[in-house]
Structure 1
Amino acid sequence: MAYTGDDFYCDVAIPRREPLVVVHEDDDVLAFHHTRPFWPVHIVVVPKAHVDSLLTLQEPVLAARLLAVVQDVAATVVAEHGEASVLTNLGAYQDSKHLHVHVRAGAPLRG
């Protein structure tokens, strides 16, 4: 059954209600291969504490920790694939209303 809520990360990913291929996990941050990838390499990095979006991220320690994990994941993707893009969505572009950063490589899998 497809998820129909508005915070996949708090509702499903972080509590592991669905299997994930985890790339990194610590007390503050979770990084895993996207469950419905849009690119051949598609890793999502999320804070475990709920933060609505990049615009509402107020905690400097969490911001630094999140960025450090994004940097490590991106460096690995570049080392393995020669390229990476790092992006986050805001407003109507943000399907799941929880800050998440995509680290991706390759051409889109679907149009």
Structure 2
Amino acid sequence: MGAAYDGDDFYCDLAIPHAIPIDVVHEDELVLAYHHTRPFWEVHVVVVPKRHISSFTTVTAEDEVDVRALLAVVQRIARQVEEEHGAAAVLTNLGRYQDSKHLHVHVHSGPECG
């Protein structure tokens, strides 16, 4: 990926506008899903709403359409990963665990990389 990113919203700054090369799994007007640029697991897909939402814990009623769309994509990708690999996990990070301050969900399977 080149130089390390040092901002706080990797998704708005780089992934959503395709400012870096990404391997897209799904994209529509509300949601982007792609293979993680630095995978932590053998299979590692990140799913993000295109509209900025800071975190799972900051979701409000005005975010309902975006979050429903996000969860529908997460469900579809998790189902596909589970069918192909026999297992899948769905994870979101909060607070200090959340490096990028934009709601995102990891769908993963398999052993840790590296």
Q: TM-score range by the shorter chain?
A: over 0.9
Q: Which residue in 2 is equivalent to 1:44? A: 46
SS at 1:40's partner residue? strand
Between stretches 60-69 and 37-46, larger displacement belongs to 60-69
TM-score in terms of structure 2 length? 0.94
Q: How many residues align?
A: 110
SS at 2:112's partner residue? coil
- Is there any run of 5+ residues in structure 1 with no aligned partner, and where? none
SS at 2:79's partner residue? helix
Name the aligned partner's letter for residue 13 of structure 1: A
- Is there any run of 5+ residues in structure 2 with no aligned partner, and where? none
Deviating above 3 A after TM superposition, structure 1's stretches of 4 or more consecutive aligned residues are none
Identity value in percent:
63
How far apart are residue 109 of structure 1 and its match?
Answer: 1.2
TM-score in terms of structure 1 length? 0.96
Q: 1:107 aligns with which of 83, 100, 111?
A: 111
Provide the aligned C-alpha RMSD in A. Answer: 0.7
In 2: Cα distance, 1:23 partner to 1:57 partner:
24
Cα-to-partner distance string for 1:31-73 (whole Å, 9 max, x where unaligned)? 0000000000000000000000001122211111110000000
In 1: Cα distance, 2:17 partner to 2:59 partner:
21
In 1: Cα distance, 2:22 partner to 2:110 partner:
21
